[in-house]
Structure 1
Amino acid sequence: MQKEQIELCPGDFVLPVSFLLSMSLLGLEFPFAYILVFIILYFSWTINKYDFLLQSTLLFGVYGFYDENLTFPFKLHDLLFIVYFAGFFIYWKDKNIRRLLIPVSIYILFLFFVAMLSDEFLMIQARRLRLYMHILYFLFPLLVFRKLDFDIKLFFNKLFIYVLIISCFYIIDSLVVSNHILVPRTTWGDLTYSTLDIDLFGGFLRKYPPGMYFIALLLFPMLYFFRTSAKYILIMTLGLVCTKTFSVIGGALITIFCFYGTWKKKIIYLIIGFVMLAAGYVLDGQMNGALRVQHLVGQFTSFASYRSVEDAMSDMDNLAEFGSDRGAQIIPKIELLTSTQKLMFGFGFLHDDLTTNDKYIIHNEFYSDQSAAEEVAALVEVTQVQTILDTGLVGFVIQHLFYIAIYFLIRKYKYSNWYLVTLVCISIFGIGGFAGLNLPHGLLLLGLALGCVLLANKDMLNPKPSVYES
């Protein structure tokens, strides 16, 4: 396939920059931002539906721009269930879409079956169960472009612009102003437009990666459709580096490795990767650990001294520190899962604040801060383990079979690999607790990719009647 040169016109940046800046103001609690965001959304709806689709995804998914617990009286992604309900009945008549809606319905029924097995109240479980259901977001782009033609290359072009701008926002926040301003809610604490503290070039600030999740959508067109100049690749790479989050940086790199190039090129990529890792390790030492490379390498090399798995398992304190202390979150919850014979179907969808059943309250001895040691065995920062806690090993298997089955249902469609590339990338992100297959952050992106693949194959979904049928 011949790659096309990415074409960027200054006019194409007006709506994206305006919307993203209004989202920044929303996160900084600037009152007029509420009006500004929805005014720009309205203009996008009337002028360019591609902008509207990406802006809506950003607004529904938050992605580090605002505080979903403070900015609105309810979580905006809950409004999508109205869209899902309407889209479900509109597209049930389309036999090709129904081929997707049937397995989605079976998957959701399975989630409710697991919830019914739990002794937690269903209304409490619904708070987290609903998060698993956002694959239905694929209906949203279908409804937006229901009576319009859809050019997937135009969408890819728009997507590139948004990711490029977000990457610039990350670079400016991290390296220039040294504060969380343009993507303000990638940190915790009181941060508003009236309390900004800009420290020009004050340091290499770490920014958590929600805004950069959109790179998962862009990998497919960059690998297969666009010839991208080095300066744009550098901007997006630097944006990723500013997250200092290896599960996200590694997720993008591993996905590229899996889907691009011959085996000969893959070996070259591995060599380059090891050289860059070694260089990063040395540079990190000179920067007093600012890049977190030595921290990453140290977590893996600490296990090299163990002679067997049994030796490693006997050193729980070391295991607890693995994955930036994610091991400390996981160990006691898995122990409770196995001791209560719930490994096959999990605890159900426990809530970290609302669940009060004593059998699910644990004292976590592995936390360095023992004031937070008493907690509900509900949440961990590894989405795959989270799925096991919620739905057990059976649920983990069914979840992954379900998303793979969707790919096989659409594999004959043009651009179907876009869904697969996005699926792999957000799943790897999930190893660090980011995006994944049980959070709106990841599922909105996967649903968007799936919906756009369907839109790009409208002729296959809604074939025109033949002369004998007309």
Structure 2
Amino acid sequence: MNLALLKQNSETDTERRRVRPTRRRYKKEVFSVDWREAFTPVLFMLTLALAGLRFYPALVLIAIILINRLIKNRYDFVIMLGIMATSRAFIPDDLLPVKIFDLVLVVALFALFFYRKDLLTKQVTILSLAYTAILAVFMFMSPELLSIQLLTFREYASILCFVVPMFVFANRDFSMKEFMKRVLLYALIICAFYAIDGIILNGWLLIPADAGAPFPSTFDHPLISPFVFYFPRKYPAALYILIVATYGLARYYRFRWWQWLIVVSCLLVVRTITIIAAVVLTYVIFQGNFRQFMKNFFLAFIAIFVLYVVDSATGRHLRVASHVQQVAEVFVAEDDEDLAEFGSTRMAQILPKYEYLVSNDKLWTGLGFLHNEKSTSARYMISNDLYSDISQSEESVGAATEVTQFNTVIHIGLIGFAIQTLYFLSVFFVMKRARVRDAFFYLSTLLCASVMGLGGFAGLIRHDGLIWVAVALGLTLMQHRRGIDEGPELEEETGFETTAVSEADTTR
């Protein structure tokens, strides 16, 4: 009888080994929308481009579309509001008397105190208010005028806008999957605008307020040169929506080849290595499966190598080979002038300001929230001999560098930088402890915005990046508050069968 029992146990163990899952990956749907779903987003983006071309009646149509979406589709409303608040390539700073971002921040401050919160949202709110209060201490420690510092301080405080999407969706149905579908649609439209502007129109019509334009492009004098072999580089100031859209590609939806072609064409038009790296790293890291991660990592490595070879052979117009060369030159740099060339001369911006912080014993606590243009007091002026253009050698230490992480050190020092890092990670771990379904959505936006910040774009100190981080945080908290057991669908592959399970089921 014992032999029979042992044989039965042996057969059971063998069966368990045979059906043990060998791989788990996210089962992503093919991204697809019909023309009815795409009509309003395309209309809105075209109207936004018209407004950027200084066709002022378009502003009225934008307001009508926003009101319509607030009533009929709040997914669109949140995304449209985010685009208008962060995409200065569509809305130049002088187009409206009040910045959309400031209006959103005012709504956020109102909602913080009047929106009903559950326990987790209260914890995140307390953490966020405490973080903002600590930043205010650094502001009061600085001799710079408070009226000037507040202009920069409000950028840091834009993380408080996480409550705005929660406020918008109050007492409304919400689906994270539907949000991802809508945000991917808008991201694809913007990428198509970049590709058309940079490859076909060769100018600034659909992305009219891009900083790379030699002079303003207007509706009566559009700056375009269609069908010529001139491909201007366009700056990625309208692409910050990718901070949230990339996670949707990593876990919810799968693009067709022609949709990927649009995205790749857009990234080649912007030719900005930190934007490309942010999207690729976020997409690869948040696959949720090691085998898929290694596959995508290998494909990304091969793609970069091919781009490097092609770029080297065609005059380095893609700026891939030049960035690789700069990294190589760091290891053979003999003095500050050699080092200053690293990162497209970003080190030339950093080194004199670093020396100023050290010589004034401000490396640990910073100088306060100096403004990029208004902090021109004599105490902050330095002479930067590392610039090749001598006319720019006299500058303020408050002049922003193209590395947002170092700008943080200028403002609040290494201590403040550590506090900032601790705050953002604490929010993530608080959500993980509460078993929040899509906590990694928030974490992915931190990574994407931070990598973009290495090139002076977005980052965690400017509203361009923080607004989208706040959107991810707010939607994730709201999904948890309502007890929505929705998440990316996981696919388990075994030796005999493939089963699909919800990610929510794996966390119970």
TM-score (norm 1): 0.92
Instruction: Give the match's secondary structure for 1:71.
Output: coil
CA contact (8 A) 1:352 1:375 kept: no
CA contact (8 A) 2:247 2:444 kept: yes
Instruction: Give the match's secondary structure for 1:362.
Output: strand
Give yes or no for the alignment of 1:228 onto 2:258. Answer: no
CA contact (8 A) 2:250 2:284 kept: no
- Match for residue 16 of structure 1? 41
Give yes or no for the alignment of 1:126 onto 2:150. Answer: yes
- Match for residue 453 of structure 2? 430
Give yes or no for the alignment of 1:347 onto 2:367. Answer: yes
Offset, 1:236:
1.6
- The 2-side partners of 1:270 and 1:150 are apart by 33
Q: Deviations over 1:74-118 (max 9, x none)?
A: 322111232122111113654332111111111111111001111
- Match for residue 448 of structure 1? 471
Offset, 1:264:
4.8
Offset, 1:424:
0.7
Give yes or no for the alignment of 1:404 onto 2:425. Answer: yes
- The 2-side partners of 1:269 and 1:224 are apart by 13
Alignment of 1:294-443 (within 5 A): 294-304=321-331, 306=332, 312=333, 314-378=334-398, 379-411=400-432, 412-443=435-466
One-letter code aligned to 1:319 = L
- Match for residue 147 of structure 1? 171
In the superposition, relative to structure 1, how do residues 268 and 4 fare at CA in structure 2: closer, same or farther (>3 Å)? closer
CA contact (8 A) 2:204 2:224 kept: no
- The equivalent position to 2:197 in structure 1, one of 169, 173, 176, is 173
One-letter code aligned to 2:336 = M
Offset, 1:64:
1.4
Offset, 1:199:
1.2
- The 2-side partners of 1:275 and 1:291 are apart by 16
Offset, 1:277:
2.7
Alignment of 1:30-69 (within 5 A): 30-68=55-93
- The 2-side partners of 1:96 and 1:254 are apart by 29
- The 2-side partners of 1:101 and 1:74 are apart by 27
Instruction: Give the match's secondary structure for 1:242.
Output: helix
Offset, 1:427:
0.7
- The 2-side partners of 1:197 and 1:252 are apart by 29
Offset, 1:460:
4.0
- The 2-side partners of 1:388 and 1:92 are apart by 36
- The 2-side partners of 1:93 and 1:445 are apart by 21
- Match for residue 81 of structure 1? 105
Q: Greater CA deviation, 429-438 or 215-224?
A: 215-224
Q: Greater CA deviation, 142-151 or 162-171?
A: 142-151
Give yes or no for the alignment of 1:207 onto 2:234. Answer: yes
- The 1-side partners of 2:118 and 2:196 are apart by 47
Q: Deviations over 1:271-316 (max 9, x none)?
A: 4334333322232133222111221111011134x3xxxxx4x511
Offset, 1:459:
2.3
- Match for residue 253 of structure 1? 280
- The 2-side partners of 1:10 and 1:81 are apart by 34
- The 2-side partners of 1:3 and 1:104 are apart by 33
In the superposition, relative to structure 1, how do residues 369 and 345 fare at CA in structure 2: closer, same or farther (>3 Å)? same
In the superposition, relative to structure 1, how do residues 243 and 340 fare at CA in structure 2: closer, same or farther (>3 Å)? same
Give yes or no for the alignment of 1:457 onto 2:480. Answer: yes
One-letter code aligned to 2:342 = F
- The 2-side partners of 1:422 and 1:449 are apart by 7
- Match for residue 270 of structure 2? 243
In the superposition, relative to structure 1, how do residues 368 and 92 fare at CA in structure 2: closer, same or farther (>3 Å)? farther
**Structure 2: runs of 5+ lacking an equivalent:** 1-25, 485-508
In the superposition, relative to structure 1, how do residues 234 and 138 fare at CA in structure 2: closer, same or farther (>3 Å)? same
Offset, 1:197:
3.1
Offset, 1:39:
1.2
- The 1-side partners of 2:170 and 2:116 are apart by 14
CA contact (8 A) 2:330 2:342 kept: no
In the superposition, relative to structure 1, how do residues 223 and 331 fare at CA in structure 2: closer, same or farther (>3 Å)? same
One-letter code aligned to 1:61 = T
Offset, 1:422:
1.1
CA contact (8 A) 2:459 2:466 kept: yes
Q: Greater CA deviation, 261-270 or 193-202?
A: 261-270
- The 2-side partners of 1:353 and 1:445 are apart by 25
**Structure 1: runs of 5+ lacking an equivalent:** 307-311, 462-470
Alignment RMSD (CA, Å): 1.7
- The 1-side partners of 2:420 and 2:150 are apart by 18
Q: Greater CA deviation, 419-428 or 87-96?
A: 87-96
CA contact (8 A) 1:204 1:290 kept: no
Q: Which structure would you say has the larger Rg? A: 2
Offset, 1:233:
2.0
CA contact (8 A) 2:341 2:348 kept: yes
One-letter code aligned to 1:419 = Y
In the superposition, relative to structure 1, how do residues 171 and 87 fare at CA in structure 2: closer, same or farther (>3 Å)? same
- The 2-side partners of 1:327 and 1:395 are apart by 22
- The 1-side partners of 2:303 and 2:242 are apart by 21
TM-score (norm 2): 0.86
Give yes or no for the alignment of 1:198 onto 2:233. Answer: no
Instruction: Give the match's secondary structure for 1:375.
Output: strand
Q: How many residues align?
A: 453
CA contact (8 A) 2:153 2:369 kept: yes
- The 1-side partners of 2:301 and 2:117 are apart by 52
Offset, 1:451:
1.1
Give yes or no for the alignment of 1:5 onto 2:37. Answer: no
CA contact (8 A) 1:3 1:226 kept: yes
Q: Deviations over 1:220-261 (max 9, x none)?
A: 221112233222122122212211000010111122232226
CA contact (8 A) 1:351 1:376 kept: no
